[in-house]
Amino acid sequence: MKRKKGLGLLMVGVMMAGLLTGCGGNNNGNSGNNEPASAPANTANEQEANAPAEGKKLVVGFAQIGQESGWRDAETASIKETFESDPNFELKFSDAQQKQENQIKAIRTFIAQKVDAIGLAPVVESGWETVLKEAKDAGIPVFLLDRGITKGNEDLYTSFIGSDFILEGQNAAKWMTDEFGTDKPVNIVQLEGTVGASAANDRKKGFEDAIKDLPNYKIVYSQTGDFTRAKGKEVMEAYLKQNKDIQVVYAHNDDMALGAIQAIEEAGLKPGTDIKIIGVDGVKAAFEAIAAGKMNVTVECNPLLGPQLKQAILDVKAGKELEKWIKSAEDVYFGQKAIDALPNRKY
């Protein structure tokens, strides 16, 4: 361990020199073109400085959830691009197909392979204590990406890199109350994300807390669509068969919102006009739906977290103290602002 650490530190020192001289990467996702400010390309001598020192690369194991949404695919692309394009890193990537037991298995494999760092996007909040304790006992730093785990386990991971889901829910509610005011009845269908996921729990909490003292706002139906377009459509179809007197759909991600739009059209109603559509993520298809008048707002949640994960790993290997929560900076897009941003959206 000593030798590895020594080597690791030596190489990181070399890389840090390269990083400090070469790239001014930024540490938070930003709105507008939804790309973190790209670092200038390395010049020849910076590439030299970044060249892997003798000995091993930093090996990173990433336990990804799956491929349930456009957002998830964008996050996977960001992680792969970040680590596979850097000769100082080796990425071991696993796709759990939405199953927590597969993520736990992947983490155990990474521990057995003695990786230098583990990244995890926890599909649900609970059930991680045992395996993350095994990683801690093995001296391997764990970084949570995009979703959190049950509170009280902060000692089991180095940092959480991701968004403020409660704020996202509040921003969704704010758009709605700005749009409708408070003096007329507003019936809402809420399409919830994956049961038990922090993104779903907190987007629900932020939204519902924001309207709990507004008697005219009623959530008439709330059901999980598991963050997928197909399920979002299915849930919306079933509900419209029993009641069409709704004014808003609040979907915990854009993919479910896009599925609901299809169901609303097939029921003979006009999404975006008869029923206002609120999504979260900021995927390109949502911007296109807003431009087409079929969707009203998307609350951005930045998936381009690869650069932040890499920087966090380098900082820890260089002995730096990290924030427990490395937050993404995000925005809310509707109307002309969404139309103007569409050409620059990268995911």
Q: Given the rule CB under 6 A, which of 39-47, 65-73, 169-177, 240-248 is the region that contacts ligand GZL?
A: 65-73
Q: Distance between CA 339 and CA 292 in Å, rounded?
A: 9
Judged by beta carbon, residue 66 or residue 141, the one nearer ligand GZL is 66
Looking up tokens 């010049």 gives: 43
Tokens of 124: 């649900």
Least distance (Å) from ligand GZL to the CB of residue 324?
A: 17
The footprint of ligand GZL on residues 6-45 (CB under 6 A) is none
- Residues 87, 142 contacting (CB under 8 angstroms): no
In whole angstroms, give the CA distance from residue 276 to residue 175: 11
Amino acid identity at 9 = L
- 159 interacts with ligand GZL by CB under 6 A: no
Stretch that binds ligand GZL, among 64-72, 112-120, 240-248, 267-275 (CB under 6 A): 64-72
Paired tokens of 188: 């809402």
Q: Which one of residues 61, 119, 162, 232 is an interface residue with ligand GZL (CB under 6 A)?
A: 162
Interaction between residue 125 and ligand GZL (CB under 6 A):
no
Report if residue 147 touches ligand GZL, rule: CB under 6 A: yes
The least distance separating ligand GZL from the CB of residue 253, rounded to whole angstroms, comes to 4
Question: Which of 34, 50, 98, 253 forms a contact with ligand GZL (CB under 6 A)?
Answer: 253
Q: Which is nearer to ligand GZL, 171 or 253 (by Cβ)?
A: 253
Residue type for position 229: R
CB under 6 A: which stretch of 69-77, 95-103, 124-132, 260-268 binds ligand GZL? 69-77
Token couple for 3:
């030798």
Three-class secondary structure of residue 196 per DSSP? coil
| DSSP-assigned letters across all residues of 230-271 | HHHHHHHHHHHHH-----EEEESSHHHHHHHHHHHHHTT--B
Asked whether the beta carbons of 326 and 144 are under 8 A apart, the reply is: no
Q: Do 204 and 172 contact (CB within 8 A), yes or no?
A: no
User: Which of 68, 202, 315, 331 is the binder for ligand GZL (CB under 6 A)?
Assistant: 68
71 near ligand GZL, rule: CB under 6 A: yes
Stretch that binds ligand GZL, among 6-14, 63-71, 172-180, 284-292 (CB under 6 A): 63-71
The yes or no reply on residue 171 touching ligand GZL (CB under 6 A) is no
Q: What is the DSSP string of 322-343?
A: --SEEEPP--EEEHHHHHHHGG
Give CA–CA dist 330/125, Å, rounded.
23
Q: Alpha-carbon torsion 25, 29, 31, 33, what sign?
A: positive
Among residues 11, 96, 118, 199, which is the contact residue for ligand GZL, using CB under 6 A? 199
User: In angstroms, what is the minimal distance from the CB of 7 to ligand GZL?
Assistant: 34
Q: Please list every residue from 281 through 320 that binds ligand GZL, using CB under 6 A.
A: 281, 301
CB of 135 to ligand GZL, least distance (A): 21
- CB neighbour list of residue 183: distance below 8 Å, 6 or more residues apart: 216
Q: Is 44 helix (H, G, I), strand (E, B) or coil?
A: helix
Kindly tell me which of 12 and 145 has the beta carbon lying closer to ligand GZL: 145
Q: Give the nearer residue to ligand GZL in terms of CB position, either 116 or 333.
A: 333
Strand order across the beta sheet in which 325-327 lies: 89-95, 58-64, 117-120, 142-145, 159-162, 325-327
| Closer residue to ligand GZL (CB): 162 or 307 | 162
Residues in the chain: 347
By C-beta, is 229 or 317 nearer to ligand GZL? Answer: 229
Q: Which spans of this chain sit near ligand GZL (rule: CB under 6 A)?
A: 68-69, 71-72, 146-147, 162-163, 199, 227, 253, 255, 280-281, 301
